[in-house]
Amino acid sequence: TQTVSQSDAHVTVFEGDSVELRCNYSYGGSIYLSWYIQHHGRGLQFLLKYYSGNPVVQGVNGFEAEFSKSDSSFHLRKASVHWSDSAVYFCAVTNNNAGAKLTFGGGTRLTVRP
């Protein structure tokens, strides 16, 4: 069974601050990790993904995430946030690329204050 844990339900920062949203997973095999963003009242939008290779992956709008096998983590970061980054962020994991069983974490609500 694969699980995803996002330890922070809420994170509040000021515009221009850096931010790190944490994601930890548990699974013993090969996995695909991804991050999604959900703006209020909207569907989820894909941000970035990792499967292998360079553990730091770049996504849209200045987001990046770093995979750590030793820590079982896939934390999302942004160097300088904008008010429009306020949203709920979901980490997700799947153990294959067959299209099924994408498991989501509970989400982290990021609030960016002006």
Cβ atoms of 96 and 75 closer than 8 Å = no
Instruction: Find where tokens 């896939």 sit.
Output: 74
Minimal distance in Å, beta carbon 106 to other proteins?
5
Q: Least CB distance from residue 13 to other proteins, whole Å?
A: 20
Applying CB under 8 A, the residues found at the interface with other proteins are: 4, 9, 32-34, 36, 41-46, 49, 51, 90, 92, 94, 96-107
The smaller minimum CB distance to other proteins, of residues 97 and 114, is found at 97
Question: Cβ closer to other proteins: 15 or 66?
Answer: 66
Of 7 and 45, CB closest to other proteins? 45
CB of residue 50 to other proteins, shortest distance in Å: 9
Listed in sequence order, the residues at least 6 apart from 51 whose beta carbon sits closer than 8 Å to its beta carbon are: 30, 31, 32, 33
**Residue 68 Cβ vs other proteins, minimum distance, rounded to whole Å:** 18
Closer Cβ to other proteins, 13 or 48, answer by number:
48
